[in-house]
Structure 1
Amino acid sequence: MNATPILEPSAAYALWADSYPAHAHNPVMRAEERAMLGLLPVDLHGQSVVDAGCGSGRYVRHAVERGAARVRGVDLSPEMLQRAAGALADVATSTHVELGRGDLECLPLPSDDADITLCGLVIGHLERLEPSLAELRRVTRPGGTILCSDVHPTGHALGWLRDFKSGGRRYAARHTPHLYSHWHAACSHLGLVIEHVLEPMLDAADIPEGARFDRLALDVPVALVFQLRRPS
């Protein structure tokens, strides 16, 4: 059996973008999204939101639907930004939405810009945790909230890949596991307060009948979700 090629994230998403929906499209993402949305305020009216690593725009859309005044989405992949723009084109809203290209370790945004900063399933694509958290802290206003999620490091230990198909072939995006102890140390060093930590599990109802998957996935957490606060 041929091994799955592991691609750098930029190369992976260039291939993946054409088939990447603007919604949670697999059981892991649905579990992660339920946890993230449970921490995101239902009413975002008057709020400024940043989605760092916005991908196809799923959290941009959630912020718009919850009434945010302004949403800025940033992603490194031009192909995924194009996908996000297309997905948001039919959304009727008074929210001011901006999409732009940028690196999570050097966001093209002003400091103290967002009331809420989102970063969903992105940080694991980076080898270093603290520089990206420092940028999320910088663009969030004092007293503001940062919601971050990543694939749970347990999955990496079990050999799971962030894989996809393109052109009839299977690929995977490079992923670096960041343990809870790494998050705790980075947040402590940056002065970020960890307010909530969630470890969502799969819902068996999300798994298609007849799907082939590791049965252990039903017994372990599949995502690590943090609610952080930048102190005033």
Structure 2
Amino acid sequence: MSGIPILDPVEAYALWAETYPAQAHNPVMRAEERAMLGLLPSDLRGITVVDAGCGSGRYVRHALARGAARVHGVDISPEMLARAAKALAGVDTASRVDLVQGDLEALPLPDDMAAMTLCGLSVGHLDELEPALGELRRVTQPGGRILCSDVHPTGHALGWLRDFKAGGQRFAARHTPHLYSDWHAACLRLGLAIERVLEPMLDPIDIPDGAHFDRRALDLPVALVFQLRRLPIPLPGPLP
């Protein structure tokens, strides 16, 4: 895949949004989504949910389907937010959704607003992990939970790209791998307890017949999925 232009995420999703499906649309996303939904409570009635980096709104719709009282979707890309709004247009519960443009490192939401915060496959677009995790913590109530996923760093090491086609040309969105050790250190500093870590694998049934892909992907985890809990008080100062 050498020679493919690597774009800033805002630029990439401006191009990608027109054809970006409103659901998990490739084997990696389906593996990641199975893991995330396995951790997401089946009953969210009475719960306010934040979906940070909501993209086309797939987790917004999952939260609504599980009865969430209010869902706040935030994404940096106005084009992807428009895609999410279009996908929600025929959903009866769409009146319980607020979509707003914003950065993962500066979410335009008040403190302590959500009992459940979601962030699917977005933090890898950022160079640094801790500022985004700090914002996810800030908007989550003390004792609340955060479900957060990223492409597994193993894939990045093997040269996999988050690529797409637009106007007949192939592009990729910039992605920075964040190791488990990065997550552990950031969570410790921020006062986030790591309760569960999943490393989902591909399901061969999701791979279309005749698909061209790295066969090593069948033997490796393709995503990192974290269940975090916000502790009342973050640890002071940097780690030694």
TM range (shorter): over 0.9
Aligned to 1:193: 193
Q: Report the aligned-residue RMSD.
A: 1.0
Aligned to 2:87: 87
- Name the SS for the 2:93 alignment partner: coil
The structural deviation recorded for 1:52 is 0.2
* Aligned residues of 1:69 and 1:94 also touching (Cα < 8 A): no
d(CA) in 2 for partners of 1:95 and 1:191? 34
Equivalent runs, 1:35-50 vs 2, <5 Å = 35-50=35-50
- Name the SS for the 2:141 alignment partner: strand
Is 1:53–2:16 an aligned residue pair? no
Give the AA of the match of 1:157.
A
d(CA) in 2 for partners of 1:212 and 1:107? 38
Aligned to 2:127: 127
Give the AA of the match of 2:87.
A
* Aligned residues of 2:53 and 2:75 also touching (Cα < 8 A): yes
- Name the SS for the 1:211 alignment partner: coil
Deviation by residue 1:13-41 (Cα, 9 ceiling, x = unmatched): 00000000110000000000000000000
Q: Between Structure 1 and Structure 2, how many residues are aligned?
A: 232
The structural deviation recorded for 1:221 is 0.2
d(CA) in 1 for partners of 2:175 and 2:160? 10
- Name the SS for the 1:93 alignment partner: helix
d(CA) in 2 for partners of 1:203 and 1:165? 24
* Aligned residues of 2:17 and 2:80 also touching (Cα < 8 A): yes
Seen in structure 2, the aligned counterparts of structure 1 residues 144 and 2 have a Cα distance that, compared at 3 Å, is closer
* Aligned residues of 1:68 and 1:95 also touching (Cα < 8 A): no
Runs of 4+ off more than 3 Å = none
* Aligned residues of 1:67 and 1:95 also touching (Cα < 8 A): no
Point out where structure 1 has 5 or more consecutive residues left out of the alignment: none
d(CA) in 1 for partners of 2:93 and 2:44? 13
Give the AA of the match of 2:113.
D
Aligned to 2:220: 220
Is 1:9–2:15 an aligned residue pair? no
The percent of aligned pairs where both chains have the same amino acid is 76
- Name the SS for the 2:143 alignment partner: strand
The structural deviation recorded for 1:96 is 1.4
* Aligned residues of 2:71 and 2:98 also touching (Cα < 8 A): yes
Give the AA of the match of 2:128.
R
* Aligned residues of 1:64 and 1:95 also touching (Cα < 8 A): no
Give the AA of the match of 1:49.
V
Deviation by residue 1:168-200 (Cα, 9 ceiling, x = unmatched): 110000000000000000000001000000000
* Aligned residues of 1:4 and 1:171 also touching (Cα < 8 A): yes
TM-score, normalisation: structure 2: 0.95
Give the AA of the match of 2:72.
R
The structural deviation recorded for 1:95 is 5.8
